[in-house]
Amino acid sequence: MERISLKKSNLFKVATVFLPLALIPLFDHNPYHLDLFTTVGIYALLAMGLNVVVGFAGLLNLGYAAFFAIGAYTYALLSLHWHCPFWLGLPIAGLVSMFFGFLIGMPSIRVRGDYLAITTLGFGEIVRIAFNNLDAWTGGPNGLLGIARPKLWVPSFEGGLHFETWSFSVNPAPYGYLVLGLVAGTACLLLRLSDSKFGRALVAIREDELAASCMGIPTLKVKLYAFGVSSFIAGIAGCVFAAKQTIITPDSFDFVLSVLILAMVVLGGLGNLWGAVLGAAVLGTLPELLREFADYRMLVFGLIMILMMIFRPQGILGGQLIQRELDVRHKESADGAS
């Protein structure tokens, strides 16, 4: 019985946050605002996905943009060569990205801490350079263009029942709803996940890997699954991104993006799902609000990361667990000194 009420409360939380957002496109018809709305949604997906690995499991992944790229290129190639519909491409992009997540994760998770960060960074760069150099498949630095937009089949009753295809166009509103739906769905799933055995195992590993493995948690397996879930979400986000832009180039998936997403997670609060969404909203809209200071954007990101780590390492909404973990070292050193 308790599980059902928990499920209800998660759905309720997600609905209260995202339903009001669904009203925005009804009142605000400014395409520029709606486009920003969609972009922030894609960032939110990425931030939530990265949060699974960095926040829950405590594994710093600095090559996250690579999984976003793999999702985007998967859908682009499927669409260009086989005219694969978007709705089929979406799960395939997620799965292909997840496959690469496992592939890259398997050797990487064996190395610990800061070395893992550098390993993932190395893999991320290899993927980007590969997309840049494999001209025959990926169009090299020019990228791929003419990627199909999503289509819907709308029932029509004129002259008997048949379906008419209705394609997304340059109008950003449908993308806004699509992304909002995906963000809400992902949030629901991740909230369920964080309350599950798997989620608890991840947090246990983050808090103390040795103790976790002594408790019988298969740490390598759990960490690998976290990598898989996280890259699946990035793949989904990449697919939506490719369908929205209709053109993708390797430049869109560089190290700066990986760090930007990391900055969102850090700003919102490591390990906190709502924090990731909030971080995406803040860092996604901030540059648009400060248009005239566009050149200072990355400078400000750098500064935010430094200041957050020094003054509020748990982030704006940081959870209690994280706070406890960040205090551990202080306690240890205090004990050592006494």
The strand pair at 162-167 and 144-145 is best described as unpaired
Q: Report residue 215: phi and psi, to 5°.
A: -80, 0
State which of residues 234, 262, 278, 281 lies at the interface with another protein (CB under 8 A). Answer: 262
316 binds another protein (CB under 8 A): no
Please compute, for residue 157, the number of CA atoms within 13 A of its CA located in the half-sphere on the CB side.
0
115 binds another protein (CB under 8 A): yes
Q: DSSP code of 52?
A: I
Contact between 67 and 100 under an 8 Å Cβ cutoff? The reply is: yes
310 binds another protein (CB under 8 A): yes
333 binds another protein (CB under 8 A): yes
Contact between 168 and 174 under an 8 Å Cβ cutoff? The reply is: yes
Q: Write down the least CB distance from residue 266 to another protein, Å.
A: 6
Tokens of 166: 């209705």
| Number of amino acids touching another protein (CB under 8 A) | 46
Give CA–CA dist 239/34, Å, rounded: 19
Other CB atoms within 10 Å distance of the CB of residue 309 = 12
88 binds another protein (CB under 8 A): no
* DSSP, residue by residue, 247-291: EE-GGGGSHHHHHHHHHHHHHH-TT-HHHHHHHHHHHHHHHHHTG
313 binds another protein (CB under 8 A): yes
State which of residues 8, 15, 19, 133 lies at the interface with another protein (CB under 8 A). Answer: 133
Alpha helices in 134-218 (DSSP H): 135-138, 173-195, 197-207, 209-214
- Strand-pairing partners, residue 144, are 248
State which of residues 8, 29, 110, 197 lies at the interface with another protein (CB under 8 A). Answer: 110
122 binds another protein (CB under 8 A): yes
Interface of this chain with another protein, residues 22 to 81, rule: CB under 8 A: 58, 60, 62
State which of residues 103, 111, 152, 294 lies at the interface with another protein (CB under 8 A). Answer: 111
Q: Which is nearer to another protein, 62 or 182 (CB)?
A: 62
Q: Which is nearer to another protein, 185 or 313 (CB)?
A: 313
Residues 6+ apart with CB under 8 A from 69: 127, 128, 131, 238, 250, 252, 253
Interface of this chain with another protein, residues 264 to 293, rule: CB under 8 A: 266
Q: Write down the least CB distance from residue 111 to another protein, Å.
A: 5
Q: Which is nearer to another protein, 87 or 296 (CB)?
A: 296
Give CA–CA dist 112/206, Å, rounded: 12
Q: Which residues bind another protein (CB under 8 A)?
A: 58, 60, 62, 107-108, 110-111, 113-115, 117-119, 121-123, 125-126, 129-130, 133, 255, 259, 262-263, 266, 295-296, 298-299, 301-306, 309-310, 313, 325-326, 328-330, 333, 336
